[in-house]
Amino acid sequence: MPNVDKHSPGSFSWVELATTDQNAAKKFYSSLFGWSINDAPLGPDEIYTIFRIDGRDAAAGYTISAADRAQGVPPHWNLYIATANADQTAVSAGDLGGTVLAPPFDVGESGRMSVIQDPGGAIFCVWQANKNQGIGISGVEGTLCWADLNTPDTDGAKKFYESLFGWTMTPGEKDPNGYLHIKNGEEFIGGAPPAAQRDPKIPPHWLPYFYVNDVDASAPKAKQLGGGIYMEPMKVENVGRMAVVADPQGAVFAIFSAPPQG
């Protein structure tokens, strides 16, 4: 059970649920992933929920504001990318054709963040850690293990993210379908499916993957708990099994399990 004490720049350092029913979400995810709940006051009548595994932070959740709901913002997962300097990253994102939706600001003494939209329309956050490094555990059920960028312009995304974070985005050596693998330093952290395979009715977005011990058991469990299944469990050749599901409020995420050893 690897503990994570620091995230290198360019890695996925935090994942956060924006929901319309925080209490229902806590019940769903604690049942599905075994997360424990740690609530902290965020402001008047606002609570920020930290989801934990064995006492270490795994994810978080909050209630979408009335103003955002009025603008049509649906329940969703936010993905955070680590940076050594949030202000510099925000400026660079703008120079590269992105849009800074929320200029860098301090989150108490925890760190500094900004909300950015890439040129293709997908939104992500950057996190400059101070007292809170972000995710503190990996490699066990309920932990973030991957993320896919769904975009109509993979070539533009490659240019933007490689310039912004120093990523390498390349096809697999024996993979003819055009899926781009995202490598941060020496670590593979995510990917970008070919634009031709995406549903044009779905807005560009980042899709987080959570590790589970058994996708074929977790997908129907998500449905039994009131969620939905968007992609039934399927085999990813030489990689493992995955499914795409949604919680009862509609936030979509993927689950993944590695093949049995031996």
pLDDT, tens digit (0-9, with 9 covering 90-100), for 135-175: 999 999 999 999 999 999 999 999 999 999 999 999 977 77
Burial class of residue 159 (count of CB atoms within 10 Å of its CB; 0-12, 13-18, 19+): middle
- Residue 118 included in any domain: yes
Residue 83, domain extent: 12-129
- Per residue in 34-72, pLDDT tens? 999 999 988 788 999 999 999 999 999 999 999 999 999
Q: Helix, strand, coil proportions of the chain in percent (round to 5)?
A: 20, 45, 35
pLDDT value at 199 more than 90? no
Domain membership of residue 2 (yes or no) is no
Check residue 262 and give its pLDDT.
Answer: 45
The average pLDDT across 163-188 equals 90
Pair 156, 235 in one domain: yes
Reply yes or no on whether the pLDDT at 239 is more than 90: no
Report yes or no: 116 and 123 within 8 Å, Cβ to Cβ.
yes
Which of 66, 96, 129 is the last residue before a domain boundary? 129
Kindly state whether residues 124 and 154 are assigned to the same domain. Answer: no
Tokens 């760190």 correspond to what residue?
111
As a whole number, mean pLDDT of residues 219-246 equals: 94
Q: Is the pLDDT of residue 2 over 80?
A: yes
Mean pLDDT in residue range 62-84? 95
Q: Is residue 262 a part of any domain in this protein?
A: no
Question: Does 136 reside within a domain?
Answer: no
Query: Residue 136: which H helix or E strand, with range?
Result: none
Whether residue 91 sits in one domain with residue 114: yes
SS (H, E, C) 34-98: CCEEEEEEEECCEEEEEEEECCEEEEEEEECCHHHHHCCCCCEEEEEEECCCHHHHHHHHHHCCC
Total number of domains constituting the chain: 2
For the chain, how many residues are written? Answer: 262
Cα end-to-end distance, the chain, whole Å: 20
Q: How many CA atoms lie within 13 A of 141 on its CB side?
A: 14
Does pLDDT of 226 surpass 90?
Answer: yes
Regarding whether 112 and 64 lie in a shared domain, the answer is yes
Task: Please determine, for residue 259, whether its predicted confidence score (pLDDT) is greater than 80.
Answer: no
Instruction: Work out the percent of the chain whose per-residue pLDDT is above 90.
Output: 87
pLDDT band at residue 261 under the 50/70/90 scheme: low
Is residue 6 one of the residues assigned to a domain? Answer: no
CATH number at residue 240: 3.10.180.10
Q: Please indicate, yes or no, whether residues 96 and 157 belong to a single structural domain of this protein.
A: no
